[in-house]
Structure 1
Amino acid sequence: MHELSLADGILKTVLQAAEKEGATKIKSIKIEMGEILLVNAEQLTFCFDVISKDTIAEGAELDITYLKPRVLCNKCRKEFEIVSDNDLPILSMIC
């Protein structure tokens, strides 16, 4: 369950940023992560809710956006988005 370690890293990062900015409450946290990480948003939110208890981040909403994986063609160096497993091996449409 890597969601717990991710939640811990997120909490540490936002608490450091909040302290630096002099914030007294964290209401929401925007997170962008790649779909390929296979992170379960419900588990991540649950873990975050548990470990953020009694901190200024308690009750903060996690606003999670999943990003499609992007790859670089080894041949033509063009960057493109992977839509499905059928897009592999990693060559662009040009190649």
Structure 2
Amino acid sequence: ATISYKTLANQLGNPGAVRAVGGANNRNPIGIIVPCHRVIGANGTLTGYAGGLEIKKFLLEMEAGYRMKSGSAATVAQDAFQDYIHHRDRYTASLPWDEKTG
């Protein structure tokens, strides 16, 4: 699921803190645990992601595909990991960087 910066600021009880939400997202050191790639623009566009918008899109598309297949977040993560292990070339071929050099 995605959420807009504005909706997240509202849920935090500070509707005027949209830029602060963006700033916190930008400084997130643990994106794999705090999934900042799921925060999008109010109009549904992909905006700001430290890894680049191509990676943000890739992550959201991968997660959406697994959500269709199974229910729980744990199952989604396990399925995604297993698929990555078995089809690594398919995933790394679409990344905008060389996996060996980072």
Please give the TM-score of this superposition, normalised by the length of structure 1.
0.29
- The structure where helix makes up a greater share of residues is 2
Look at both structures and tell me which one has the larger radius of gyration over its CA atoms.
1
TM-score by length of 2: 0.28
Q: Which has the higher contact order (CA 8 A, sep 6+)?
A: 1
Say which structure is richer in strand.
1
